[in-house]
């Protein structure tokens, strides 16, 4: 499997953008977590993924730059494509329904996808999200409103939620 990769500087680090020939975003992660991103891609697609350097499509770059400039709806138009299991894809799609400036809990997401007892599985699938920010896993926090883990580091999760004006504890 072959995809292209580009880098995008942001206020909280350099993003790696992985996209396909149809200009769909396949992965988005932080440069300092590239080994994890590659591992997740390998798990999703069942084989090693080749990444060639290429300039990201303007629509993806412009949307992300607009998001970081404060236009949170700019990410709504970014076309994504994921591998993963049907459960993971269902959960990742549900992440997109969490509005900017709001948060959800693992339990609420499990209920939303019709599997209220699958809270732990939701947490695992959320942690394997290949397209952070656009599929906003950072908006998932603990039921007590506290920040929980984030693959890009809690300092980035805190920044993203503060940037969006979301309420949380800690």
Helix axes of 119-127 and 86-95: crossing angle, nearest 10 degrees: 80
The pLDDT of residue 170 is above 80: no
| Domain ranges in the chain with CATH number 3.30.160 | 2-77
pLDDT at 107: 96
Is there a contact between 41 and 27 (Cβ–Cβ < 8 Å)? yes
Architecture of the 2-77 domain? 2-Layer Sandwich (3.30)
Q: Which residues are catalytic?
A: 137
pLDDT tens across 22-35, in order? 999 999 999 999 99
User: What is the C-alpha separation between 40 and 27, in angstroms, rounded?
Assistant: 9
Report the chain's mean pLDDT, rounded to a whole number. Answer: 95
73-6-58 Cα angle (round to 5):
45
Q: What is the DSSP letter of 98?
A: S
* Tokens linked to 97: 């329904």
DSSP string covering 67-87: HHTT-GGGGGG--B---S-HH
Residue 44 · residue 82 · CB < 8 Å: yes
pLDDT number for residue 100 = 95
CATH 1.10.10.10-classified regions of the chain: 86-164
Q: Provide the token pair at 12.
A: 């909280």
Span 57-65, average pLDDT: 98
Q: How far apart are the C-alpha atoms of 34 and 6, rounded to whole Å?
A: 12
The answer regarding whether domain 86-164 maps to CATH 1.10.10.10 reads yes
Cα 106 to chain center, whole Å? 15
């Amino acid at each position: 499997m072959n995809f292209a990769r580009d880098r995008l500087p942001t206020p909280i680090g350099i993003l790696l953008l992985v996209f396909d020939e149809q200009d769909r975003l396949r992965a988005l992660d932080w440069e300092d977590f590239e080994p994890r991103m590659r591992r997740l891609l390998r798990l999703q697609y069942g084989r090693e993924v080749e990444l060639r350097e290429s300039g990201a499509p303007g629509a993806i770059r412009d949307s992300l730059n607009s998001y970081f400039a404060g236009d949170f709806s700019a990410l709504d138009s970014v076309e994504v494509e994921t591998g993963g299991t049907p459960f993971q894809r269902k959960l990742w799609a549900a992440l997109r329904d969490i509005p900017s400036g709001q948060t959800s809990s693992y339990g609420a997401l499990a209920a939303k996808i019709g599997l209220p007892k699958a809270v732990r599985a939701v947490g695992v699938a959320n942690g394997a999200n290949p397209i952070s920010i656009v599929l906003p896993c950072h908006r998932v926090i603990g039921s007590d409103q506290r920040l929980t883990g984030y693959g890009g580091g809690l300092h980035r999760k805190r920044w993203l939620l503060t940037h969006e004006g979301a309420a949380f504890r800690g």
